[in-house]
Amino acid sequence: MEFPFDINNLFPERISTLDRNLGSGCEASRRPEPQDQIATVINELGRASAQAQQLAAPITSASKLRYSNHHLFLLKEGEGNGGRGVVVGFLKVGCKKLCLLDRRDAHVEAEPLCVLDFYVTDAMQRHGYGLELFDFMLRHRQAEPALMAYDRPSAKFLSFLAKHYSQTERVPQVNNFVVFCGFFLNGQGKVNLCTK
Ligand SMILES: CC(C)(COP(=O)(O)OP(=O)(O)OC[C@H]1O[C@@H](n2cnc3c(N)ncnc32)[C@H](O)[C@@H]1OP(=O)(O)O)[C@@H](O)C(=O)NCCC(=O)NCCS
């Protein structure tokens, strides 16, 4: 994904971690103009992700990120667009309080780290970029795929989780979140039983 400004200047690292401050860690991002450019990148990625998932409206935008405690990991390739760099994709995660069903259909309350949005630009899919983003997030958050929840994962994402992280056995839920068997195997599900 190309932009009419310098992506390498805006995002010096190959993978940048953005939070509610839209900070990319570079000095320039604290000035107003780069902040607008970062917002443009996030909004464009959010739109493309919604389109790819056939959602009615984006679930990721700069304003939504500003009013959340979510983290967005943004991956670029520094070489493209005449050396100005191109944006490859993003992964957004955050903690959510969820009421889940365990393997015996008992209600369990948990607050796992959730994958909320995930997108690699169409032409760059199936080249390992998604895995690079996901692995980076796991290290950054010291997370494990089996202990996370996944908000309305697409068929492509489910295939991705099966291929790279052997997450295949889902525990049926009544909400849009997907969790796998391992979620309930380590005692995480034993805390905070729901009353309803
Ligand atoms: C899901 C997604 C982020 C994965 O990123 P990626 O860079 O393509 O993933 P990787 O190259 O690291 O891994 C490839 C694996 O992902 C899955 N995958 C990726 N694209 C796929 C496609 N078009 N059809 C089926 N599976 C696909 C497959 O398991 C694939 O392995 P394979 O090529 O051996 O079948 C990316 O495909 C995407 O953006 N899809 C559209 C948006 C989307 O569905 N997002 C999930 C939101 S919940």
Residue nearest to atom 25 of ligand 1 (CA): 156
Residue nearest to atom 10 of ligand 1 (CA): 128
Distance from residue 160's CA to the centre of ligand 1 (Å): 5
> Helices marked H in the chain — which ranges?
7-10, 32-52, 62-66, 129-141, 155-165
Task: Tell whether 1 is covered by a domain.
Answer: no
Query: Residue 24 — pLDDT band, cuts 50, 70, 90?
Result: low
Task: Tell whether 195 is covered by a domain.
Answer: no
The residue-averaged pLDDT of 180-194 equals 65
Nearest Cα residue to 118 out of 149, 151, 76, 163 = 151
Query: Which ligand 1 atom is nearest residue 126's CA?
Result: 11
Mean predicted lDDT score pLDDT of the chain: 91
Task: Tell whether 69 is covered by a domain.
Answer: yes
Task: Tell whether 94 is covered by a domain.
Answer: yes
Residue nearest to atom 14 of ligand 1 (CA): 126
The alpha carbon of 40 is separated from its chain's Cα centroid by a whole number of angstroms, namely 18
State how many domains the chain has.
1
Task: Tell whether 36 is covered by a domain.
Answer: yes
Task: Tell whether 196 is covered by a domain.
Answer: no
Taking only the tens place, the pLDDT of each residue in 142-173 is 999 999 999 999 999 999 999 999 999 999 99
Distance from residue 185's CA to the centre of ligand 1 (Å): 27
Task: Provide CB contacts within 8 A for 74, sequence distance 6+.
Answer: 11, 15, 16, 17, 18, 24, 41, 42, 45, 87, 89, 90
Query: Which ligand 1 atom is nearest residue 132's CA?
Result: 12
Distance from residue 125's CA to the centre of ligand 1 (Å): 6
Task: Tell whether 139 is covered by a domain.
Answer: yes
What confidence score (pLDDT) does residue 56 get? 96
Q: Which residues line ligand 1 (CB under 6 A)?
A: 49, 52-53, 118-120, 125-131, 153-154, 156-157, 159-160, 163
What confidence score (pLDDT) does residue 51 get? 97
* Residue 75 belongs to domain spanning: 7-190
CA distance 113 to 177: 12
What confidence score (pLDDT) does residue 110 get? 96
Please say if the pLDDT value at position 89 is more than 70.
yes
The residue-averaged pLDDT of 125-146 equals 97
* Residue 135, token pair as written in the block: 């692995």
Alpha carbon distances (Å) from 60 to 63, 67, 101: 8, 11, 27
Percent of the chain with pLDDT over 70: 89
Please say if the pLDDT value at position 28 is more than 60.
no
Distance from residue 130's CA to the centre of ligand 1 (Å): 7
Please say if the pLDDT value at position 192 is more than 80.
no
Of 42-46, 126-130, 189-193, the one with minimum mean pLDDT is 189-193
What confidence score (pLDDT) does residue 23 get? 72
CATH number for the domain harbouring residue 87: 3.40.630.30
Between 34 and 156, the more confident residue is: 156
Distance from residue 151's CA to the centre of ligand 1 (Å): 16
